[in-house]
Amino acid sequence: MDAAAMKDEVGRAAAAHVEPGMRLGIGTGSTAEAFIHALASRVSEGLRIVGVPTSERSAKLCAELGIPLATLEELPELDLTIDGADEVDPQLRLVKGGGGALLREKIVAAASARMLVIADGTKKVAHLGAFPLPIEVNGFGFVATTLAIEKASGMLGLSGPIQLRMAGEKPFITDGGHLIIDASFGLIPDPEALSAALHAIPGVVEHGLFLGLASSVLLAGPDGLERLGAP
C-alpha cells in the first residue's frame, strides 16, 4: 500500500467517527484532505454536520465539496477536531505545522472536546524532533526573535539549523500574516520545557508542539490501522 492509499484509508476511517449534528474542526494537509473527501461523501448521503476549517486551503476544498462551514466565532466550542500530524510520540505529543497552519490548527484543537489525529504509520516516532519544528513568528523583530529562539533552545541543549520558511523566492506567509521558522533541533528530550521556553519569547506567535491536545490517533500502515489512545 502506497502513501496515498494509506491516507485514503485513514481518511475514510476518520470520517466514520463523525456523528450526526457534530460541530467539527477540520484540519489541514494531505491526510486531512483525504478525510475531507471522505467526509464530503457522507455529507452527500445526508450526514448533517458543521465544520470549522483550520486554513483557507481546507475551507476552499470543503466549500467545493459541499461541506457546510462556520467560523470559530460562530461555533466557539467544538465536539471533535480531526487533523493530521508530522510526528506522533507514544504520549500522543505531536509536531504539526508542516503545512503552515499550526496557529489556527492549535486554536481549533484547543476549542474541541476531543482531537482525533490521523496519519500514516511513518509519522509514529519514539521521540519528537526528526521533523523540523515549525515556529510561527511575527515579522516585526524577526532577527531578534530568531536569536532569542537560538538562545532559549541552546539553554535546553538543543542546536541545529534554524531557517526561515520560503515559498519560492519569497518568505512563506501564514493565513494569519506571520512568518514560519523551521528549527531542525533533532531529538527533543523535553517537549514541555521547549514549549514553555518558546512561549516566553515575545516574537513567537505559536509553535508546532501540540501537547495534551490529542485524544486518540489513527495510523495507517501496510497491515491496516493502528489506534493509539482512547477510542
Q: Helices 191-199 and 142-155 meet at what angle, rounded to 10?
A: 150
Please state, in angstroms and rounded to a whole number, the distance separating the CA atoms of residues 36 and 140: 35
Which residue in the list 9, 33, 87, 105 is annotated as catalytic?
105
User: 123: closest CA among 14, 200, 217, 206?
Assistant: 217
Spans in the chain with pLDDT lower than 50: none
Predicted local confidence at residue 135, as pLDDT: 98
Predicted local confidence at residue 1, as pLDDT: 67
Predicted TM-score (pTM) of the model is 0.96
**C-alpha atoms less than 13 angstroms from C-alpha of 12 in its C-beta half-sphere:** 8
SS3 128: coil
pLDDT digits (tens, 9 = 90+) for 170-200: 999 999 999 999 999 999 999 999 999 999 9
The reply to whether 105 belongs to the active site is yes
